[in-house]
């Protein structure tokens, strides 16, 4: 009986040490702002947002910015928040280029990202939320050039 107790105690300590080491290294916290579902919002009012914090891998194969944008397009974890664009949105391209000494993010989102949105959704407001999210998490990015489908989006 003592051996079984000692075995389970050792197993529990090993599991706790493993969980502790995984949570401390290899992941970084990112902030995601999503619009709050607000049925009382009047037309023309800016959308209120709420922040979710998620831990994502430190050195993703696709790059940190692309990983972040893909995660952002997946939408919120909370049921009280709305995705920024339609849930069938996908990322066509995402790369950072240094133009004249400043980092510029070139971002292409699928055309379907705006198809299934309700009529009361302000597309320009959602584009602003997308850009604000990226700039809050990646301070080095000074400008974002956004395309939806093949169309350049100008704020």
Domain range list for the chain: 26-153
Give the mean pLDDT per block of 10 residues along the chain (155 residues).
68 62 74 86 73 94 95 94 92 93 95 79 89 96 95 86
**Cα 18 to Cα 127: distance, rounded to the nearest angstrom:** 40
CA distances from 125 to 15, 44, 49 (A): 45, 10, 11
Structure tokens at 15: 């599991």
What pLDDT does 41 receive? Answer: 64
């Amino acid at each position: 009986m003592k051996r079984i107790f000692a075995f389970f105690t050792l197993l529990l300590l090993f599991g706790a040490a493993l969980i502790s080491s995984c949570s401390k290294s290899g992941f970084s916290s990112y902030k995601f702002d999503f619009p709050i579902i607000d049925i009382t919002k009047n037309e023309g009012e800016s959308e209120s947002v709420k922040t979710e914090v998620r831990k994502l891998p430190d050195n993703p194969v696709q790059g940190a910015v692309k990983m972040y944008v893909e995660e952002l397009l997946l939408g919120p974890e909370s049921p009280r928040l709305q995705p920024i664009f339609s849930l069938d949105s996908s990322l066509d391209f995402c790369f950072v280029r240094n133009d004249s000494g400043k980092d510029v993010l070139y971002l292409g989102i699928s055309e379907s990202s705006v198809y299934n949105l309700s009529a009361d959704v302000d597309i320009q407001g959602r584009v602003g939320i997308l850009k604000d999210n990226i700039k809050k998490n990646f301070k080095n990015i000074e400008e974002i050039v956004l395309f939806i489908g093949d169309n350049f989006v100008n704020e």
